[in-house]
Amino acid sequence: MKLTLRIWRQASPEAKGKMQKYVLDDVEPDMSFLEMLDVLNEKLVIDGKDPVSFDHDCREGICGSCGMVINGNAHGPQQYTTTCQLHMRHFDDGDTIDIEPWRAKAFPVVKDLVVDRSALDEIIKSGGYISVNTGSAPEAHAIPVDKVSADDAFDAATCIGCGACVAACPNGSSMLFTAAKVTHLGLLPQGQPERQTRAINMLARQDELDFGGCTNVGACHEVCPKGIPLASIAQLNHDVLGATLTGARSD
Amino acid sequence: MSELQQEPTAVQGEGRYVLGDPIADTRAPDSPIADRWSDRKFSARLVNPANRRKMSVIVVGTGLAGAAAAATLGEAGYHVKSFCYQDSPRRAHSIAAQGGINAAKNYRYDGDSIHRLFYDTVKGGDFRSRESNVHRLAEVSLNIIDQCVAQGVPFAREYSGLLDTRSFGGTQVSRTFYARGQTGQQLLLGAYQALERQVHAGTVEVHPRTEMLDLIVVDGKARGIVTRNLFTGQLDTHLADVVILCSGGYGNVYYLSTNAKGSNVTAAWRAHKRGALFANPCYTQIHPTCIPVSGEYQSKLTLMSESLRNDGRVWVPKERGDDRDPNDIPEDERDYYLERQYPAFGNLVPRDIASRAAKNMCDAEHGVGPSGLGVYLDFKDAIARLGRPAVEAKYGNLFEMYERITGDDPYETPMRIYPAIHYTMGGLWVDYDLRSTIPGLFVGGEANFSDHGANRLGASALMQGLSDGYFVLPTTVADYLADAPFDEVPEDHPAVQEAVESTRARIDKLLSANGHRTVDSFHRELGQLVWDQCGMARSKEGLEKALDRIPSLREEFWRDVKIVGTGDGFNQSLEKAGRVADFMELAELMCIDALHREESCGGHFRVESQTEDGEAQRDDENFAYVAAWEYAGDNQRPVLHKEDLEFSYVHPTQRSYK
Amino acid sequence: MVITPQRNIVSRTWGTSVGKKTVIATTGAVFLLYVIAHMLGNLKVFFGIEAFDAYAQHLREIGEAIFGYEGVLWLLRVVLLTSLVLHMWAAFSLWYKAKKARPIGYQHRQRWEGSYAARTMRWGGVIIFLFLVWHILDLTTGTVNPLGGDESAYLKLVASFDRWYVSLFYILAVVALGFHIRHGLWSAIQTFGANSALKQNALKTFAFVVAAVITIGFAIVPLSVMFGLVR
Ligand SMILES: Cc1cc2nc3c(=O)[nH]c(=O)nc-3n(C[C@H](O)[C@H](O)[C@H](O)COP(=O)(O)OP(=O)(O)OC[C@H]3O[C@@H](n4cnc5c(N)ncnc54)[C@H](O)[C@@H]3O)c2cc1C
Ligand code: HEM
Ligand code: HEM
Ligand code: SF4
Ligand code: F3S
Ligand code: FES
């Protein structure tokens, strides 16, 4: 397979970036997208050129490191698939592929396709947990959880923190990410005591960072590799409004 | 066995190492095994809460072990600095674990108990682990589940609302707790959230995208680390009263493995070079059901859950080199070799046995797929017996993952699988308290030589990581810190300066080679060599061959590697190069260890040591010890220290799965 | 945990992005109710000039005993106008935040995800607003109506729609309104936190049906005039 790649190259956070064209003529359909980039990089290094930086680690679709916007789609054309799990058989010989980093003010470009997503950690830090110290937990079977809540909580808990939702949202909002955590913990009995404060604190932090506000567009859900349900955003709204109406306090 | 032996005479690999003094684990109390951990906890000294703030702890790694330790020490009030090379602590390699986590809760009332988990783990480790440690692990397993549930880890539940368990890796009891096929992810997120909570509370500082490149040892004590900020390339020193390494396993020495691409031995290897002993490096675990390599460009191997063997049947064509479409091969021309060789366990034999059997088939040219390195895992009978919907309900997501990667539909054509490196039982030597041989350096998780002996049971690594992180380290580190804070180490202390300068020199050397080959090409070559000679089966001849090649490959690497760019910024090739350089050194030690251990045990299969029917043959007489290696200097022969293993509660037997 | 004095509900809500979204949804709901009532009222044109004008007259006389002539109507106008200001204010402020959140756009145009209705909410809203201005000048004040302000509502309406381009404009506007409601109604339910994975599809269908009924209910009037059914 022969492909033309147009890749965003940016040497450093301050540098001005641009799309750079490369031609690869020995791409195999069984390669993963990242392996295709590995092949390009091997060539670039041999030619003494700077290889393309991109984030990756597990290459199994679970760590959330990888992520690039491929022809305008966060994580590429295949649904429920991270970039590392995307394979070249979904492209055709002769295709031109545009590859860009996540674009959001909250995710400044570090180099080429690598962005700094620490803003997502900031959101978790502001309340995305259950406050239980090690060793103070009750016996596990003391807290039964009905299966429906357990399953719904799980669906939300599968978020891998990749940030594709932010990349795709026309508002640059991290709402799906935040909502996934609020929903995961808020549906479980263990998460009840902090449910409202968690929701307002995490939302407040998200608003403070450089993310946009959600207006229910739904693009986030469509690109989310884990298919986090859009209804988790309703859950967040619900908890925030509930907290507001009942006058919950936040810190 | 325990008296001092001077020269390794009449030992294979003679001349490749020097025998040193034996060592002993001096920390485990002498009480009956079931009391040891509580006795140790009681004897551990405590630190006044008001003083904890003044004591600083470095934790390298944010996997299950590291994140759990950092969070717990933070909760206790110590000043903790946590490091990882990923852009967020949540992405540590533990995230990828699929199957589950063991705990002796006995919720099924199927005869499980702490003692049984202890027994199974010692036996599963092929009698090469420490009884005291394993017993503690089994005890603590109960608390782990409680802790994780309280944190909101969404373990699978039954309709009653109570926790579900399954049996895993051939155990007869159902003690594995799981969260769909994402147990590691959910456990890690729990630990990560606990960690972020402490960041919020101000007790923990997280340094993501920061790689530890050296250990700072001052006056014989571990007092800090040298790090490189991967964003800016800046080298920094971080000083503390104690350093804890939870930096994971070294499976990536093989280049292709199921580990995350960035997994590395650097932190552990640097500590080794600063004086910490490295134990049992040749104990590596091979997982039998991975997706086979599809081409030269292959960058990583993907594990398919072991549970597939519950219903899938493994076979190869009877005829050599038969490249017909599998569906065209009639039943009587198929060799269901596991069922044939191991009628009692059939397709469910343990990992090492299943892996080796597949290798034997492929070596005998019965392998399938383009490379000939693969065997079929066939669900046709299961689909006929259970119906497609049932198979889909059980394995749907795994089949989907397989199809995504290979483009083949397992409902129609049998899956192709092949073994792959998955886990490393070896690691830095630690005593019962998880102290390495450098005072002030503790090691947890896969990075230590751990509790798994020569073979790890499925679902036990997560248990060990969390046991170390949440429960063991916080107790034993506090005991150590009872003497702290130690004298302040000035930034310009010669030991600090030396560590920084040598790190800088190494980076400069890598950058200035400016040769002709990429880092990956060296890594691939090294990996292939180690896989061929120190992989599923090892022979004296092969290991000698590898040992002859590794030093020259290493020399070539330093001379001919090509890294574009500078060290003053984000440079992924440079990061890789540093890791590969360490793998090059580790590989040699692995082969020496494998060569010296003239027995087969667990994941270490020496072709010279097998029973008549080709099974692993242990040699308890001569090898019932932990091999802890001391670094003796560049190009010096390593020194072997033996720690004898005693089995007072579980008596060694030969494993048999016929 | 530090306990901070509680801020009052309004300022707390107003402050967050979800708060603004709630303002849009609440005012949107007011519009929706008004629009449904208005649509039903409009359908009286099919009962002839007397019925329609009587209805227009009646509008001004409801509650006259308490609120005076046109009292309720003015009350309604005040509510609607306030809602409009709040609705637009909140929508524009989120729009502004969104602009800041992505200062550098994509080179390859994003294959827009989300439905067409969802991503045209803002421009759709602007179109509806411009339409409203015209509409009030046309049928309420009569400023841009061929018959001027003081004629019968029915006649003004027929006169206005007799110009095909005006009819077309009205139809386009109500189609835009349909899109706005199709996404907006679902969106409001989501904003109020009443969506769930289970109900998701049912709610989307519900919003679609409501939007379709409203669009047709409005569009039928100018269409009938154009095709001579109403004279
Ligand atoms: C595919 C797969 C499936 C598995 N499934 C199971 C299972 O079902 N059950 C089970 O029990 N076990 C399973 N295992 C094994 C288990 O996941 C690991 O053994 C365990 O998670 C290791 O945890 P850890 O905390 O020791 O290290 P890791 O999770 O590997 O974390 C290492 C940490 O160290 C950091 N680090 C490394 N080097 C440096 C450095 N130089 N500087 C700074 N930071 C550094 C990394 O950033 C990372 O944060 C599986 C393993 C794999 C590969
Ligand atoms: C400049 C004018 C307008 C703009 C920019 C605008 C923008 C928006 C936006 C962005 C939403 C979605 C908010 C969300 O999903 O949370 C919305 C919702 C809505 N709008 Fe508008 N709008 C405008 C005018 C109008 C007008 C004039 C009407 C009345 C006919 C109207 C009726 C609605 C309704 C019913 C909703 C649904 C409530 C909701 O989605 O929360 N809008 N509007
Ligand atoms: C196409 C079909 C429509 C017709 C035939 C129509 C008809 C009318 C008429 C006849 C009036 C004047 C009533 C009076 O003053 O007595 C009016 C007023 C008004 N209409 Fe419409 N309308 C239509 C669509 C809309 C739409 C889509 C909206 C909202 C988005 C709307 C909003 C209004 C408003 C706000 C007033 C002013 C009410 C007042 O303050 O007196 N109309 N309309
Ligand atoms: S919600 Fe989905 S897209 Fe967003 S970070 Fe989580 S997994 Fe990625
Ligand atoms: S795309 Fe954006 S607007 Fe909301 S629903 Fe998703 S975050
Ligand atoms: S590399 Fe881990 S999700 Fe893609």
Q: Select from A1, A43, A45 the residue whose CB has the most chain B CBs within 10 Å, as the one to mutate to test that interface.
A: A45
> Would you state the structure tokens that stand for residue A228, as one six-digit string?
């986090």
Question: pLDDT value at position B394?
Answer: 80
The answer to whether residue B41 is domain-embedded is: no
Q: What is the mean pLDDT of residues A110-132?
A: 98
- Does the distance separating the beta carbons of B179 and A188 come in below 8 Å? no
Q: What is the largest CA-CA distance in chain C?
A: 71
Residue A182, C-beta contacts closer than 8 angstroms, at least 6 positions apart: A128, A198, A199, A202, A232, A235, A236, A239
- Does the distance separating the beta carbons of C105 and A216 come in below 8 Å? no
- Does the distance separating the beta carbons of C102 and A249 come in below 8 Å? no
The answer to whether residue B352 is domain-embedded is: no
Q: pLDDT tens-digit profile of B505-539?
A: 999 999 999 999 999 999 999 999 999 999 999 99
**Of the ranges A93-97, B245-249, B293-297, B523-527, which one carries the lowest mean pLDDT score?**
B293-297
Q: What is the mean pLDDT of residues B434-441?
A: 98
Which residues of chain B lie closer than 8 angstroms to A133, CB-CB?
A: 72, 75
Which residues have C-beta atoms less than 6 Å from ligand 6? A 56-59, 61-66, 82-84
CA of B299 to the centre of ligand 1 (A): 18
Answer whether B26 touches A (CB < 8 Å): no
Domain annotation for chain A: domains and CATH numbers:
3-111 (3.10.20.30), 118-246 (1.10.1060.10)
The answer to whether residue B125 is domain-embedded is: yes
Using CA atoms in the order A39, A42, A45, A51, what is the torsion angle rounded to 10 degrees? 40
Ranges of residues in chain C whose predicted pLDDT is under 70 = 1-13, 111-113
Closest CA to C86 of C24, C133, C25: C24
Question: pLDDT value at position B3?
Answer: 39
Residues recorded for chain A:
251
Distance (Å, whole) CA B450 – CA B455: 11
- pLDDT exceeds cutoff 50 at A52: yes
3-state secondary structure of C194: coil
Q: pLDDT tens-digit profile of B241-269?
A: 999 999 999 999 999 999 999 999 999 99
Distance (Å, whole) CA A212 – CA A171: 5
- Measured between CA atoms, the residue of chain C closest to residue A102 is C106
Cβ neighbours of B248 (radius 10 Å): 31
- Does the distance separating the beta carbons of C200 and A215 come in below 8 Å? no
Shortest Cα distance from A53 to chain C (angstroms)? 18
Q: Is it the case that chain C and chain B have 3 or more CB pairs lying under 8 Å apart?
A: no
Closest CA to C184 of C20, C12, C27: C27
3-state secondary structure of B386: helix
Question: B385-408 burial, b for 16+ CB within 10 Å, e for fewer?
Answer: eeeeeebeebbeebbebbebbbee
Q: Which ligand is nearest to the CA of A86?
A: 6
The answer to whether residue B357 is domain-embedded is: no
* Whether B587 and B456 share a structural domain: no
A249 contacts A196 by C-beta, under 8 angstroms: no
Complex ipTM > 0.90:
yes
Distant-in-sequence contacts of C123-129, Cβ < 8 A, 24+ apart: C124/C176, C124/C177, C124/C179, C124/C180, C125/C87, C125/C88, C125/C91, C125/C180, C127/C172, C127/C173, C127/C176, C128/C173, C128/C176, C128/C177, C128/C180, C129/C84, C129/C88
Q: What is the mean pLDDT of residues B545-555?
A: 97
**Of the ranges B104-118, B338-352, B469-483, B593-607, which one carries the lowest mean pLDDT score?**
B338-352
Pairing verdict, β B56-60 and B79-83: parallel
Which CATH number covers residue B407? 3.90.700
Q: Which atom of ligand 5 is nearest to the CA of A218?
A: 5
Look up residue A31 and give its amino acid: M
Q: Which ligand is nearest to the CA of B87?
A: 1
State the helix-helix crossing angle for C17-42 and C164-191, rounded to 10 degrees: 140
Which residues of chain A lie closer than 8 angstroms to B471, CB-CB?
A: 134-135
* Whether B190 and B65 share a structural domain: yes
Q: Select from C8, C17, C89 the residue whose CB has the most chain A CBs within 10 Å, as the one to mutate to test that interface.
A: C17
Shortest Cα distance from B563 to chain A (angstroms)? 7
CA of B45 to the centre of ligand 3 (A): 81
Shortest Cα distance from B568 to chain A (angstroms)? 11
- Measured between CA atoms, the residue of chain A closest to residue C197 is A231
Tell me, using a 6 A CB cutoff, whether residue A214 lines ligand 5: yes
Distance (Å, whole) CA A45 – CA A42: 5
Per DSSP, the residues of B23-74 read -----S-SS-GGGHHHHHHHHS----HHHHTT-EEEEE--SHHHHHHHHHHH
Using CA atoms in the order A137, B466, B160, B104, what is the torsion angle rounded to 10 degrees? -100
Answer whether A241 touches B (CB < 8 Å): no
The answer to whether residue B5 is domain-embedded is: no
Q: What count of Cα atoms within 13 Å lies in the side-chain half-sphere of residue B39? A: 12
Of A212, A229, A240, nearest to C101 by CB-CB distance is A212
Per DSSP, the residues of B84-97 read -SSSSGGGSGGGG-
Distance (Å, whole) CA A143 – CA B385: 38
Pairing verdict, β B101-102 and B176-177: antiparallel
* Whether B298 and B280 share a structural domain: no
Answer whether C26 touches A (CB < 8 Å): no
The residue contributing the CA closest to ligand 4 atom 5 is A161
Question: Does B351 qualify as catalytic in the annotation?
Answer: yes
- Does the distance separating the beta carbons of A185 and B150 come in below 8 Å? no
Which residues have C-beta atoms less than 6 Å from ligand 1? B 60-66, 83-86, 92-94, 96-101, 183-184, 211-212, 246-249, 258-259, 263-264, 266-267, 303, 422-423, 445-447, 459-462, 465
- Does the distance separating the beta carbons of C106 and A204 come in below 8 Å? no
Look up residue A168 and give its amino acid: A
* Whether B248 and B291 share a structural domain: no
Distance (Å, whole) CA B141 – CA B293: 36
> Would you state the structure tokens that stand for residue B571, as one six-digit string?
């440079």
Question: pLDDT value at position C8?
Answer: 57
Q: pLDDT tens-digit profile of B36-72?
A: 999 999 999 999 999 999 999 999 999 999 999 999 9
Percent of chain B with pLDDT over 70: 98
Answer whether A15 touches B (CB < 8 Å): no
Instruction: Determine the residue of A176, A183, A211 to mutate for testing ligand 4's pocket, defined as the one with the most ligand atoms within 8 A of the Cβ atom.
Output: A176
Q: Which of residues 558-617 of B touch A (CB under 8 A)?
A: 562-565, 569-570, 572-573
Instruction: Determine the residue of C76, C128, C204 to mutate for testing ligand 2's pocket, defined as the one with the most ligand atoms within 8 A of the Cβ atom.
Output: C128
Question: pLDDT value at position B597?
Answer: 97
The answer to whether residue B641 is domain-embedded is: no
Using CA atoms in the order B330, B331, B334, B340, what is the torsion angle rounded to 10 degrees? -170
Per DSSP, the residues of B121-189 read HHHHTTT-S-HHHHHHHHHHHHHHHHHHHHHT----B-TTSSBPEE--TT-SS--EE--TT-HHHHHHH
- pLDDT exceeds cutoff 50 at B11: no
B351, B356, B579, B618: the catalytic one is: B351
Distance (Å, whole) CA A27 – CA A11: 26
Specify the number of domains making up chain B.
3
Distance (Å, whole) CA C184 – CA B113: 57
As separate numbers, helices (DSSP H) first and strands (DSSP E) second, chain B gives 18, 21
* Whether B161 and B275 share a structural domain: yes
- Look up tokens 């946590």; give the residue: B82
Per DSSP, the residues of A128-147 read -S----TT-PPPGGGS---H
Q: pLDDT tens-digit profile of B144-180?
A: 999 999 999 999 999 999 999 988 876 789 999 999 8
CA of B255 to the centre of ligand 1 (A): 16
DSSP classification of residue C137:
I
Q: Which ligand is nearest to the CA of C170?
A: 3
Radius of gyration over every alpha carbon of chain A, rounded to an integer in angstroms = 20
> Would you state the structure tokens that stand for residue B434, as one six-digit string?
């998880």
Answer whether A112 touches C (CB < 8 Å): no
Distance (Å, whole) CA B80 – CA B58: 6
Q: What is the mean pLDDT of residues A197-223?
A: 95
- Does the distance separating the beta carbons of A58 and B161 come in below 8 Å? no
Which CATH number covers residue B66? 3.50.50.60
Question: pLDDT value at position C12?
Answer: 64
* Whether B404 and B394 share a structural domain: yes
* Whether B403 and B276 share a structural domain: no
Residue C22, C-beta contacts closer than 8 angstroms, at least 6 positions apart: A237, A241, C13, C191, C192
- Does the distance separating the beta carbons of A81 and B90 come in below 8 Å? no
Using CA atoms in the order B633, B444, B43, B38, what is the torsion angle rounded to 10 degrees? -140
> Would you state the structure tokens that stand for residue C216, as one six-digit string?
């047709």
Q: Which of residues 172-201 of C touch A (CB under 8 A)?
A: 183, 186-187, 189-200
Question: pLDDT value at position B544?
Answer: 97
Q: pLDDT tens-digit profile of B559-577?
A: 999 999 999 999 999 999 9
Q: Is it the case that chain C and chain A have 3 or more CB pairs lying under 8 Å apart?
A: yes
- Does the distance separating the beta carbons of A211 and C190 come in below 8 Å? no
- Does the distance separating the beta carbons of A212 and C102 come in below 8 Å? yes
Question: pLDDT value at position B8?
Answer: 41
Q: Which ligand is nearest to the CA of A67?
A: 6
Which residues of chain C lie closer than 8 angstroms to A250, CB-CB?
A: 4
DSSP classification of residue B528:
H
Q: Where are the domains of chain C?
A: 16-97+116-226
Distance (Å, whole) CA A90 – CA B296: 20
Q: What is the mean pLDDT of residues B369-392?
A: 93
Per DSSP, the residues of chain A read --EEEEEEE-SSSSSPPEEEEEEE----TTSBHHHHHHHHHHHHHHTT-PPPP---SSSSS-S-----EETTEET-SSTT--GGG-BGGGS-TT-EEEEE----TTS-EEETTEE--HHHHHHHHTT-S----TT-PPPGGGS---HHHHHHHHHHHT-----HHHHH-TT---HHHHHHHHHHHHTSGGGSTTHHHHHHHHHHHHHHTT-----S--HHHHH-TT---THHHHHHHHHHHHHHHHT----
The mean pLDDT value of chain A amounts to 95
- Does the distance separating the beta carbons of B407 and A137 come in below 8 Å? no
Structural domain including B517 reads: 494-622
| Phi-psi label, residue B341: left if phi above 0, alpha if psi -120 to 50, beta otherwise | alpha
Answer whether B90 touches A (CB < 8 Å): yes
- Measured between CA atoms, the residue of chain C closest to residue A99 is C108
Question: pLDDT value at position C228?
Answer: 87
List Cα–Cα distances, C212 to B97, B339, C189, C201, in angstroms. 49, 64, 18, 16
The answer to whether residue B408 is domain-embedded is: yes
CA of B261 to the centre of ligand 4 (A): 21
The answer to whether residue B643 is domain-embedded is: no
Distance (Å, whole) CA B54 – CA B57: 10
Distance (Å, whole) CA B301 – CA B259: 8
* Whether B318 and B338 share a structural domain: yes
Q: Which residues partner with B278 through β-bridges?
A: B428, B629
